[in-house]
Structures are given as structure tokens and as C-alpha cells.
Amino acid sequence: MLLLRNNQDGTFTDITTQAGLTSTGHAIAIVPADFNNGRDIDFLIVDRDDSPRLFLNQRDFTFRDVTSEAGLTRNGSVTTGVTAADLNHDDYPDIVFAGETSTDSTIALSDGQGGFTMTPAPTSAQGAHALQLFDYDNDGLLDLLSWTSDGVQLARNIGTSWTDVSTETLTTQPPLPV
């Protein structure tokens, strides 16, 4: 991963190390979002072989790793995909992690204070390589679209749980090669 500062002359300077953004593994996704409502961009770096790492923008060209204190440590879980959006209408981004198993697939709900509470994700997130949250049925709740080796899956958010509506809403399609 690299963080490049625009020198405003057509060139860039690598400031990754000075900014405190380090990743030793194989990053599969970087999610830029304002995770603490600090009115700046923070980074969630998702690594295939390690826990995701949440870096909060310190507004001085540096970032602080707050993964442990935020409750985002996913010991032993393998992450295959990630997306972030405000699932519970509290104005803070929540995170959906897809994993190789159903127990690896979790939703991290923001508490609005910089912490997250882990809850189970819809089973359609298992093994997903790409995730997207959107309100497909216009009910005000974000639903989860997952791309897995078994094809595209759609989980409808009904407020307190999720229901698989793939067969009712998506056309029949062969599995996509991964």
C-alpha cells in the first residue's frame, strides 16, 4: 500500500511511512471513509492473511492504528471481501466483512464512539469476493449484494435480520469463475 502526496507539479511523493500507514501482508481492499465522524478520511486496510487495520486520520498528515481499541480484531478469521456504509442510520459507517466461513463473515456496527460491535453477517457473505450495500427495495434499509463462486447473492435487510431473496430477485445464472 502506498500513500502518495500530490506535489501539485505533476509529481507525487511517497509519504506512506511518515503517515504511519504500514501493512506487512497482502492487502485485498482499502476502504476510505470517515469512521469516527472527524470530518476527514480514515482508512480500513483489509489484509488477506491478517486482521483488518483501522487507521484514524490525525489531521497532521499522520494516521493512528486504532484497530484493537475499536474492537475490530478478527483473530484467525480470513477476510475475502469488505464494504462499508451506515447500516443502522446513526451517521457512522458500519463494516461488512466476508470470510471463508460463516463465522468469518461479520458485521461491525459502529457505536458512534470509535468502537465496533461484531454481529453475524448474512450467510450470503460467506466466501464473497465482492460486496455492495444498497437499498434495492427502497425501504430505507441497506441490502447486501455478494459475489461468490456460487454466483451473485442478495440478502434483504428487514431491520432485525437478513433474508436471502436471491431466487426471487436475481435471474438464474451460472457461477462466476474466481
Question: pLDDT tens digits for the chain (178 residues)?
Answer: 889 999 999 999 999 999 998 777 788 899 999 998 889 999 999 887 778 899 999 999 899 999 999 998 776 678 888 999 999 888 999 999 998 877 788 999 999 878 999 998 998 888 898 999 999 999 999 999 999 888 889 999 998 899 999 888 765 555 556 5
The domain segmentation of the chain, as residue ranges, is 4-169
C-alpha cell at 9: 507539479
Look up the pTM and report it: 0.86
SS3 state of residue 70: helix
Cell 482508512 belongs to 43
Q: What DSSP string runs through 18-59?
A: HHT----S-EEEEEEE-TTSSSS-EEEEEETTS--EEEEE-S
